[in-house]
Amino acid sequence: MLNLATPSIFMKLLQSLALIYSLGLSQLVFADLPMISDMKVMAHPPGSTVTAGFLTINNISTEPLVITGVSSDTVTRIEMHESVIKDDVATMDKHDELSIAAGEKMELKHGGLHLMLMDLESPLMLGSTLAITLHTNQGDIEVKMPVVKPGMKHGHGEENVGTPEPSMKH
Ligand SMILES: [Cu+2]
């Protein structure tokens, strides 16, 4: 009886060890990768070719994180913008780079920093997911952005403030 049971217990033990080992290893390898949260892309009306994307980037590493560009297989052009008011006029500054100090968090949100998705050739469907790549000094980071309804409540009463409108000049 014991002889029959032993190999399977032994195998289970081996599998557990292998699992623990691979988990431990992946944590070692990925411990410093930036953490991305609150990602979303605004669905846009038919006919418009621009929309905005938002996300929060947490640089948990001990090195500065510099985002040097953003790309996607499905979006022709993605720029890093910041909504600003100049002489009472809402406008957007383009950033070539975004730097996040070690241990710091950067929020791209309504009315501030955002990703500008431009020259859209096909509409981004509500409920779909857009894959984008952040190019950084710490390597490429793949991010899946859920496409959501514009003007969705976020609980701080700021929706649509400074939201890039398709008619806005770039
Ligand atoms: Cu913009």
Q: What is the CATH number of the domain that holds 42?
A: 2.60.40.1890
Q: Judge if 54 and 134 occupy the same domain.
A: yes
Query: Distance from the CA of 18 to the center of ligand 1, in angstroms?
Result: 47
Residue indicated by tokens 């700021």: 158
* Centroid of ligand 1 to alpha carbon of 3 (angstroms): 69
> Is the entire prediction scored with pTM above 0.85?
no
Ligand 1 mean position, distance from CA 117 (Å)? 8
CB 43 within 8 A of CB 125: yes
- Output the CA 93–ligand 1 centroid distance in Å: 8
Tokens representing residue 136 in the block: 């950084």
Q: Give the three-state DSSP class for 42.
A: strand
**Is the domain of 39 the same as that of 27?**
no
- On whether residue 93 sits in a domain, the answer given is yes
Measured in degrees and rounded to the nearest 5, phi and psi for residue 153 equal -70, 135
Residues 54 and 22 in one domain: no
Domain that residue 110 falls in: 35-148
- Is residue 1 one of the residues assigned to a domain? yes
Based on the fold, state whether residues 89 and 104 are members of the same structural domain: yes
> Mean pLDDT, to the nearest integer, of 84-109?
95
The answer on pLDDT for 67 being more than 70 is yes
Return d(Cα 130, Cα 44) in angstroms, integer: 13
- Rounded Cα distance between 98 and 108, Å, is 11
Mean pLDDT score across all residues of the chain: 81
How do beta strands 139-148 and 35-42 pair?
A: parallel
Q: Domain check: are 47 and 27 in the same one?
A: no
| Selected residue with higher pLDDT from 81 and 3 | 81
Chain segment 29-65, per-residue pLDDT in tens: 445 789 999 999 999 877 889 999 999 999 999 999 9
In this predicted structure, the answer to whether residue 9 has a pLDDT above a threshold of 60 is yes
The domain total for the chain is: 2
pLDDT of residue 8: 67
Could you tell me if 119 and 49 lie in one domain? yes
